[in-house]
Structure 1
Amino acid sequence: MRVKALAIVASLLVTVFGSAAAETSQKTNTLAPGVLRIGAYFINPPFEFLAKGKKVGFEVDLMKEIARRLRLRPAFVNTQWEVILQQMQDGRYDCIVGTITITAERQQNLAWSDPYMTTTLSLVVDSARMPQIHGLADFKDATVGVQAATTDYDVAVAMQQHGEIKGVQVYPFDRIADAMTDLAAGRITAVMKVYPVAAWLARRTPGLRIAVQIPHDPQPLGIGFAKNNPGLVVAVNSALAEMKQDGAFARLGRKWAVP
């Protein structure tokens, strides 16, 4: 009788867990079975960039771990910032990453994960040229460099309209090096980026420092999805919550110096 009872229990467990696995598989519908196709642009350190031809970065490791927990194989597709949101709408990927701020406008067209972090925008200056700049009030006569089609641009334009800065110089997203060159040459006063990216640039460029973090524009960062795949959003949110609870998320933050 005991053997028979154990066999019944085992059969029930297989049924329960098999059903759960099938339900999870059904919920995490992806473009290709067993694969999580992720759109990203690899000129965005420390979140995603190319190191000796290899795709690396905080969000690369983050998505690899999420995929592992969902029993999916991550497949990263290199694209450009200017088209990534539209490509996600068109169904080219299962999800997208790229230090993307969740905004009301972007929520109209895409679904989003819970924010995995909320950061700020920061202003990077050349210490030798701008030793007197220490706070936002010191930027009234400043020209700030930003990348096109970003929340950085939106915030900088609003600051200009409110008289907090004097001018805005816009650069194509893939030409951040031009902005850094102009900063070093004194053609602009500062470059605006989200804090983790600004800190990465400042640490690796002699003479640069973060002068101020913009206090009134929090930047919730998330993962974007098609609106017709809510099950995948739920599954990714669950994996994110697990990572924060078991310490995996914090370990990635320490690895890439992402607060």
Structure 2
Amino acid sequence: MAWRACAVVLSLMSLVCGGLQARADPPPDTLTPGVLRIGTYFVNPPFEYIQDGARVGFEVDLMKEVAERLRLKPRFVDTRWETILQQMRDGRYDCIVGGITVTPAREKILAWSRPYMTTTLSIIVDTAKSPDIHGIDDLKDASVGVQAATTDYDVATRMRAEGRIVGVKVYPFARIKDAMSDLRAGRITAVMKVYPVARWFVRQTPGLRIVAQVPDAPQPLGIGFSKATPDLVTAVDRALAAIKRDGTYAELARKWDVP
């Protein structure tokens, strides 16, 4: 009789588990069924970059985790910052990432996930070239390097208009290393960059240091979508919430040393 009771219990468990699986949400609709097509650019460490020929970074791992929880296969498509927002608007991808700050202007053209990180803009200087710069108030005679079409650029041009810095030198997004080279050579006084990227470059380059965070300029980073895919946005938001809730996000943050 005992074996019959066990058989009944196992049968009931199988029916319950099968029913739960049957009721599980199907993968969300995407451009290619079963695939999450992700536009990005691998020139933005520690978010996404190339290391020893491999595509790596915090957001690479984060999006892989999101895709897995949605039962989708991630497919990263390399593009450029200067075109990625319009390409997403044109429906070239299911979503885009790349340390992208969610701004009111960008919310007008794309839908966005809830921010998975809110960070700051950092000021980097060369300690040998600028030993007397210790904060924002020391930048009045400074020229600051920024990347084109970024919130860094917007903030730096506003600071120039307010007389808080003298000049702004703009670099193509993929040439941030040129800004660091110019900083080391003394051709510019400082570089402004979102904190995780600034921190990565400072750790990679002896002599550079972060002297300040720009006040009143929070940087909420999110995943961008077409406004025509609200169900996908909702599904990704649920996955991000679960990733944070179960500790996976914290593990990835420790791995890539991001806040």
Task: Give matches, 1:51-130, under 5 Å.
Answer: 51-130=51-130
Residue 198 in structure 1 maps to residue 198 in structure 2: yes
Structure 2 partner of 1:162: 162
| More off after superposition, 7-16 vs 131-140 | 7-16
Query: Is it true that 1:20 corresponds to 2:24 in the alignment?
Result: yes
Residue ranges of structure 2 left out of the alignment (5+ in a row) = none
- Once residues 238 and 244 of structure 1 are traced to their aligned partners in structure 2, the CA distance between those partners, rounded to angstroms, is 10
Provide the secondary structure at the position in 2 that maps to 1:99. coil
**Paired residues, number:** 254
Deviation for aligned residue 1:7: 6.9
In 1, Cα distance between the equivalents of 2:16 and 2:170? 62
Q: TM-score, normalised by structure 1?
A: 0.93
Which secondary structure does the structure 2 equivalent of 1:100 belong to?
A: coil
1:248 is aligned to 2:252? no
Q: Matches of 1:204 and 1:197 in 2, distance apart? A: 11
Q: CA RMSD in A?
A: 1.8
Is residue 132 of structure 1 aligned with residue 139 of structure 2?
no
Following superposition, the deviation at residue 164 of structure 1 comes to 1.2
- In the alignment, the residues of structure 2 paired with residue 9 and residue 69 of structure 1 have an alpha-carbon distance, to the nearest angstrom, of 24
Q: Shift of the alpha carbon at 1:18?
A: 1.7
- What's the offset of the Cα at 1:13? 6.2
Deviations 1:16-63 (A, max 9, x none): 642433xx33xx111111111100000000000011221100000000
CA distance in 1: counterparts of 2:252 and 2:16, whole angstroms: 38
Percent identity between the two aligned chains: 63
Q: Give how far 1:14 is off.
A: 4.1
Instruction: Work out the CA distance in 2 between the residues paired with 1:132 and 1:253.
Output: 33
Aligned positions of 1:143-158 closer than 5 A: 143-158=143-158
Structure 1 counterpart of 2:164, which letter? E
AA aligned to 2:62 is: L
Offset at 1:5? 11
Tell me how far apart the structure 1 counterparts of residues 194 and 149 of structure 2 sit (CA, whole Å).
Answer: 14
Aligned match of 1:178? 178
1:225-254: CA deviation from partner (whole Å, max 9, x where unpaired) = 111111111111111111111111011111
Q: Report the AA paired with residue 47 of structure 1.
A: F
Partners of 1:189 and 1:242 lie apart in 2 by 43
Letter of the aligned partner of 2:69 in structure 1?
R
Quote the offset at 1:64 in angstroms: 0.5
